[in-house]
Every structure is written in C-alpha cells, then in structure tokens.
Amino acid sequence: MTARMRPSLRREKALLRDGAVMVGGCDEVGRGALAGPVTVGVVLVDARTKRIPQGLTDSKLLTPERREELVPKIRRWASAHSVGHASPDEIDEFGLTYALRLAGLRALAMLPVDPDCVLLDGNFDWISYRHRATAALLEAHELAPQEVFWEVEELDTRPEPEWPVVKLPPVITQIKADLACASVAAASVLAKTTRDALMRSLAEHFPHYGWHENKGYASDYHRDEIRRSGPCEHHRRSWRLLPVELDEPIDVAT
C-alpha cells in the first residue's frame, strides 16, 4: 500500500492558499551511514508549479537509475532547489542533530529566494532545533521530542557550529512526507543522488571500503574492511563503527 502511494502537491497548495508565496520541501539522507556526510535537499514550489514529474516518489523506493533520470526533470520542475552537507568531522564535533541542522541551513542559504515555510519529513524539527541537552537525550535514547523533559541540565559540552546566516522559515513536520508531498519527495531524490555521487567520488581514493556500492552505510563488506584496515578521515569516528561482537582495538590515527 505504502509503495503505491503517489506524492501530490495537495499539502503545498493548501499552504499556498493560506498565504505562502514559496513552499519548501526538505529531506535528509546519510543519517545512518558510517562514513561520508549527512546531506539535506530542499525543493521550492509556488503557485505556478505544474504537474509533478512522472514517477516521482521517495528516493528509497526508486532504483538508482530511476533516481538519476528524475534529477534533470526535478530541476526543471522546481521553482528553486539546493543541497547542503555536513561533514563527518562536523558530525563528530557537534553531534548528528546539529550536523543535520547545519546541512539544512546550508541548503537554505544557497536558495535564490527564502521559502515562507518548509515541509520536513518526520516528526522532529531538526532544522530550527538548538537545545543541546535535549538533542543529546534524543540521540542517546532515540526518543521523540515529546518524550523528553525540557527541564534538563546541559549534557553536552561540545561547541556549537557557526550557523549559516539565513532567514529561518516556519517548519512543518509531517510523518511520511517523502511519500505524500511532491516537494519533499523531490528533495529526497536530489539529496540522495548528490550524496551518492560524492561517495562514488570518494571511493576512487578509498576503493577498499566499497563505497561505490554501499555509499558509506554499514554493509558487512564495509565493516569487515574497517576491522582489517581501520577507519579513514571520512568515517564518523565518534560512532561505533563495528558491532560489539566484531569490535577490536582500532588505531583511529591511521
């Protein structure tokens, strides 16, 4: 049932009727990878936006070939689009939640026009989120925002990033927006194809990790190679790169 859902502009058009001039759809990829950046795509639509590209849906439901075919169509269809990254070093230094926000703000800063609001896939607004203690709880315990007590002491002493200067729009979260909202589905495709291309490029210099196929995610081959030769500078070294049963001392300075 879910796989057959076709994204529409119903939610975006409702926001436009309510007064928005430009509505953005936003999605991320790379959250669970062991190596490479987290990447955020943003696609803008307005009242002039016409029929969505045929076959558009959440990038996870598309073959790599179909995603690549959709990219030029999405770029022509969208009012504007952009993609932002946060590096493995930034993930290690600031934490995943702040790295997602950093990538999202970078994507917003590259747009030629500010959206009046942004549709974000999921139920957690990491674009405008800045409470370090609660972010640490969310990451440590995989809690939803409403499950966290707000009266908590600072749990994380890592510094904050230098945030991009950008006008932060209202963010509207929606579970499975990448399946229901065309702008979010398009953003997921742009983010996925951009990050995949980056990982293929990195694989030319680090071929032994198999990034041309696994794109930095935790495949058995990838983890076996980390165990054999250790991580490189593109790995998230603050993460557990090997499961407990495979964990062996790794010289992270290599």
125-183 confidence digits (pLDDT tens): 999 887 554 555 555 555 444 444 333 334 456 678 889 999 999 999 999 999 999 99
Q: Do residues 181 and 11 lie in contact, with contact meaning Cβ atoms separated by under 8 Å?
A: yes
Pairing assessment for the beta strands 23-29 and 38-45 based on DSSP bridges: antiparallel
Q: Do residues 178 and 121 lie in contact, with contact meaning Cβ atoms separated by under 8 Å?
A: yes
Q: What is the pTM of this model?
A: 0.86
Residue 221 domain flag: no
**pLDDT at site 29:** 97
Residue 249 domain flag: no
Measured distance CA(124)–CA(129) in Å, rounded: 9
80 or 139: which leads in pLDDT: 80
Residue 252 domain flag: no
Structure tokens at 65: 């070939």
Task: State how many domains the chain has.
Answer: 1
- Work out whether the CA dihedral 98, 104, 108, 114 comes out positive or negative: negative
- Between CA 45 and CA 51, with CA 47 as vertex, the angle to 5 degrees is 70
CATH number at residue 121: 3.30.420.10
Measured distance CA(83)–CA(236) in Å, rounded: 21
CA distances from 219 to 130, 211, 212, 213 (A): 32, 10, 12, 9
210-241 confidence digits (pLDDT tens): 999 999 999 999 999 999 999 999 999 998 89
Residue 241 domain flag: no
The alpha-carbon radius of gyration of the chain (Å, integer) is 19
**pLDDT at site 138:** 54
Residue 166 domain flag: yes
Pick the closest to residue 41 from 88, 80, 98, 95 (CA basis): 80
Q: 198: buried, middle or exposed (CB in 10 Å: 19+, 13-18, 0-12)?
A: buried
Q: How far apart are the first and last CA of the chain?
A: 47
**pLDDT at site 173:** 96
**pLDDT at site 1:** 34
**pLDDT at site 251:** 37
Residue 183 domain flag: yes
Residue 197 domain flag: yes
- List phi, psi (to 5°) of 178: -70, -15
CA distances from 136 to 25, 97, 105, 153, 252 (A): 26, 8, 20, 11, 24
7-46 confidence digits (pLDDT tens): 999 999 999 999 999 999 999 999 999 999 999 999 999 9
Structure tokens at 18: 């309510």
**pLDDT at site 5:** 74
**pLDDT at site 32:** 93
Range of the domain at 186: 2-208
Residue 179 domain flag: yes
Q: What is the DSSP string of 133-147?
A: HHHHHHHHHT--GGG
Which residues does 189 contact at the CB level (< 8 Å), separation at least 6? 41, 56, 59, 62, 67, 70, 71, 74
**pLDDT at site 141:** 54
207 or 130: which leads in pLDDT: 207
Q: In what order do the strands lie in the sheet with 23-29?
A: 80-86, 38-45, 23-29, 117-121, 171-174
Structure tokens at 34: 């062991």
Residue 4 has pLDDT above 90, yes or no: no
